[in-house]
Structure 1
């Protein structure tokens, strides 16, 4: 079943969904939907795009400001991927369109010849996301809005964006004027999903030995029994601890947090 909302209403509803999942220090409020312009990217520092699956055509773009880009680049764990940080917002936007988002990819807004209109396959609508200033924006092609379906089950975003914005109307900022937001720190990253891995040890093997592995084979690791296991976040060592069992599942009791130098 296709969406019952007008294109402008639907674009704002998609922005409501994305705003709830986008890392930000202060809550983001969607402004009014506007006709898209290829010059909109000049107001932002980075962005990510995800193609849609599920019978809905097109893609969705989320543009973000300098604060989030710098926070990801300056993370204590090393530079974090913008596309991964924005993926939950793109997933939420896609569900509101009755679709599923594919894996996001970052777009270089400063690349020579970059054209967001061509990236989206044609005319699009833009919805600013406003915090202390214009912190981000959601871009949705007109063809995607026309082909959207009813929200996917379990989507918590209200169908009527007016229900979200009626109490506090979003301010309209013409042409994405340069409203400067106050400096933001690592709080921006609080909503970013990170891959956490516990490593018991490592070993090196020749291809011959690897191919000779059979069920029941025992591999000797480079760590003595009883030694602490490593806790890695996005592949970076950040802590050590003891392996424990919690309700029949393995867990890790952290015994040591490593500083930045030790975690390299």
Structure 2
């Protein structure tokens, strides 16, 4: 099964990252709806902060059969996982089970920085992490169980050491909000073990090669002056009853197209500025 850019047959786990407001939760819910339409059982969990996708979408997901785990429901998440896994064993063939954990980076952050966190919560988080590890081991040997972990700037260093193989075998998606719409980029490992996003890099290079604003204003002004001069000469010929000059008409058409192209290039904002390819510092949730 393939959902969006995630090939579940090839990658037992999927890590979705991005900044706040970049559509990570939106992508999770879109993938969940597609998975359920394909017959999968879906558990959507955000035990740290709870779901903030709006009641209509939550209701639609529940009606479609998704199990929703909300804020502080650590024990319920573990119990639900056990119940669903046990129920799946009784079904032949067993439907795919997809566990999606949103805001996973916050859970890891609390685990790494326990200061001020109640002991019982830390114990629940550790229990949950161990349960995830057990399921991940099963997922690597099974075509049935798949996992999605979504969070703000998830990094390998934040994960337990035992997750190294899962991280390297997983799919990596970056969600970004570009000019008011969400875009998703697929990641791959470079020779140093870092995740890169080739399509995003290509977009950055293309953006960097665009002319600067001052140059574009100067070029556009010259084009429009010449275009106006050619149109004036053509209008004068027509008033005098002289037929159109084919070369002049062709020049006007070419100038109009060039002017339109310049207008497309004139947007000097870089929608990809704050991306993994340009970011120099990492902040935590």
How does the TM-score come out when normalised to structure 1? Answer: 0.25
Considering fraction of residues, name the structure with more strand: 1
How does the TM-score come out when normalised to structure 2? Answer: 0.24
The structure with the larger Rg is: 2
